[in-house]
Structure 1
């Protein structure tokens, strides 16, 4: 891996192998996400056409978005620690780095609530509503 990197870009950077691995993961992560979303959406379209589409598929897409935002934030902070040597815990810096992952968790919770309310609404329409009779 190091030899191919040196052939493509020249000498190895001063930060070392950990920087190279982290930088590679940071650059590859969006492509992994795009391929996973494309695959999940194609499966969703197939399930929708056959009539077996459920909210679990939507929740899986939402959860993968949450995982992506956390992985991206972790990689960016790791790259900053490797290149600069420290990570300053200032409110503006922490909110800039970790604001989107926290917001994505909140959005996932709202998505889960909406999917659960739709699935609960479907369950009420198909059964007997008068339990005590």
Structure 2
């Protein structure tokens, strides 16, 4: 009986970690999909990953892409990217570090904030971008 209770307790404790991992993977999937859409020139698809707060500030695809192409060239034309650290701020909010090699061959760090939307999709609420101190290989 004790072993059954122990197994049950381990399973209960394990589920939140699995759910958290699945949520992070889903959020990373939104980031990957947006970067890939930028790479392939599918601007409308890239815009679809912007959260409502971003769409209020940039209400048209043209204004959004103007912002991206003007201020986020390493994201817009990433040569490659890898996910770094993440932090789950709440069940519906995640911060994700992304290491990017920009079109200039330099390293950048992008910190994405994402929120889970009512339709079940993680959408990007903001991106902070800076040159990274790491070296590309």
What's the TM-score once normalised by structure 1's chain length?
0.33
Looking at secondary structure, tell me which structure has more helix per residue. 1
Looking at secondary structure, tell me which structure has more strand per residue. 2
Higher Cα Rg, which structure: 1
